[in-house]
Chain A
Amino acid sequence: MTPPPPALLHVVRAGALTTVQDAGRPGWAHLGVGRAGALDAPAARLANRLAGNGPDAAVLETTLTGCAVRATRPVVAVVGGAVCRVTVDGRPAAWGLPVRVPAGAVLEAGPALSGLRGYLAFGGGLEPRPVLGSRSADLLSGLGPAPLRDGDTLPLGAPAHRDGPPSPDTVPWPAAPAELVLPVHLGPRHTWFTEAALRTLLTAGYQVSEHSNRIGLRTEGPSLERARTGELPSEGMVLGAVQVPPDGRPVVFLNDHPTTGGYPVVAVVPQAALAAAAQAVPGTPLRFVRA
């Protein structure tokens, strides 16, 4: 018996920026390879769980405008993360819960009503070719599948047959932050800044900048004054590093951040706090507080 051709997901409307993401590719930073992976990792994991997948299955991450897709086989899909309208062939369907989508029907995740990044998980997961053990797109280095375009197709994995997706009554999806409060641990380079700058960092009001992306959450607000001039020789950068470029406005490094950098890192946001950062739309008030 010849195996059936792999099922495909057709991209009907790619949206502003839709990428394939999984748990990313940690462990390669020494080669200049970033971790990538879903920015709102808990949302991606929850969407996978509701679709009957393991936590590391590849999902779609959308940005603000959602996307629309069509599968060549019936598929259980979950749209979560940023809140949006969900339709199947134009008829309203559940957000944040498993939805059975017939073969050939168009599943649409509308523009975000709240939050920024939506996650679409499909029973069986998406299976583009992995690179260094991950199917995630890394927008800084260009590794992994390119951002989706209208008309693209992606291979769909086989769903786990045994149990099928769960049937939950209520699912705790966190709301997008009205105010983003990021806890920080000072260091490793906080001594490069004046005492006044550190006070400013921990007390001033910032806003999420519209220039934010998967590489970093940029901010608008008071600039942080350096206590010492000169260049920092390139050094390793962690996820959540609050790097301060010459304009003095902190940038919080997200999953596609460079592995090494030459601007001082004043503080680090613990990873668990970054899911909220992934959902903060430009203009969201932002405060840094001592962790």
Chain B
Amino acid sequence: MSGPAPARRPPEADGVRVLPAGPRALLVELAGGEDAEAFHAELLRRREDGRLPAVTEIVPGARTVLLDGVEAGDRDGLARDLASWRVPPLRRGTGDAVEIAVVYDGPDLDEVAALWGVRAEEVAALHSGTAFRVAFCGFTPGFGYLTGLPAHLHVPRRTTPRTKVPAGSLALAGPYTGVYPRPSPGGWRLIGRAVDPAALWNPGREPAALLTPGAEVRFVPVAGGAGGAHGAHGSSAAAGERA
């Protein structure tokens, strides 16, 4: 993360609500997702600079940041302090990006293309041309909720979740893009797959997660080969919803 970004719009402290979450935690609620990402970035900067009281966890959410493990006695003072912060707005695509090689051949590619009003072949360029950022993690270790898609490319979840989504699946739901680190049930729309799913989560590596909150991310499209893992994707896409 680079140094503090210059504020380009008037700083706003309104829209910040600091809610107690038990005696040792604070939930900071922001007006929107973008504000929450900016607030989280500011928290990390201040922690890095030693300007934040000790906390055990800083957990971003969709519109919130949770500070857990606040020292007893610090909570209310910290709450007042947080509510008064002037936070510079978030800037996207300014740092080094984590690159993830993906094949755009997911079983829901045609559906997503239809929702976007483009041809299936255009989904890869539109998606991989987006500067993504990890807004928050959750669901399973190493799963990041990536923002960056403009509102007109947001798609609803599937009405019927899949009972099994393969590891590495590249998926969309609402404002988010995600890559499944391991097989799991899931209701997101699958548009492709990471070439190296094992890179997403490796507890023997530091950091264990490839995608950590605040990280910039770019998807790099690669041609799909005749590999084993994606046969299922390819065939179900071919069998798919075009008819």
Contact = CB atoms under 8 A, between A and B. Distances in A.
A226 to B, nearest CB: 17
Contact of B27 (A28, A132, A233, A236): A236
B237 interface: no
Given A30-B212, A32-B209, A238 B22 contact: yes
B105 to A, nearest CB: 26
Interface stretch (B5-13, B65-73, B121-129): B65-73
A234 B144 CA distance: 12
Interface residues of A, number: 33
A131 interface: yes
Interface in A198-245: 233-238, 240-241
A287 to B, nearest CB: 18
Contacts of B33: 233
Interface string B144-174: 0100000000000000000000000000000
B57 interface: yes
A31 B57 contact: no
A32 B209 CA distance: 9
Contact of B21 (A132, A188, A259, A271): A188
B103 interface: no
Contacts of B64: 233, 235-236
Interface string B119-143: 0000000000000000011111111
Contacts of A141: 140-141
Given A32-B142, A143-B203, A236 B66 contact: yes
Given A27-B57, A132-B203, A235-B27, A260 B140 contact: no
B21 A241 contact: yes
A226 B64 CA distance: 21
A43 B130 CA distance: 51
B208 A132 contact: yes
B23 A31 contact: no
- Give chain B's interface secondary structure class: loop
Contacts of A32: 137-143, 209
Contacts of A38: none
Contacts of A236: 27, 57, 59-61, 64-66, 68
Which applies to chain A's interface (DSSP): helix, strand, loop or mixed?
loop
Contact of A240 (B22, B57, B207): B22
Interface residues of B, number: 37
A147 B138 CA distance: 23
Contacts of B142: 31-32
A22 to B, nearest CB: 16
B141 A185 contact: no
Contacts, number: 112
A29 B59 contact: yes
Contact of B145 (A28, A234, A241): A234
B19 interface: yes
A265 B56 CA distance: 20
Nearest to B25: A238
Given A132-B208, A235-B27, A236-B66, A30 B137 contact: yes
A270 B23 contact: yes
B58 interface: yes
Given A30-B213, A236-B66, A187 B24 contact: no
B63 interface: yes
Contacts of A234: 61-62, 136, 138, 145
A26 B21 CA distance: 17
Interface in A108-156: 131-132, 141, 143
B93 interface: no
B66 A31 contact: no
A26 B139 CA distance: 17
Interface string B48-60: 0000000011111
6 contacts: A26-B56, A233-B61, A233-B63, A234-B145, A236-B59, A270-B22
Given A32-B141, A258-B138, 8 more contacts: A30-B58, A143-B141, A185-B23, A188-B20, A235-B62, A241-B21, A260-B61, A260-B139
Interface of A: 26-33, 131-132, 141, 143, 185, 187-189, 233-238, 240-241, 258-260, 265, 268-271, 291
- Smallest CB-CB A-B distances: 6 pairs: A236-B66, A268-B22, A233-B62, A236-B59, A260-B138, A235-B61
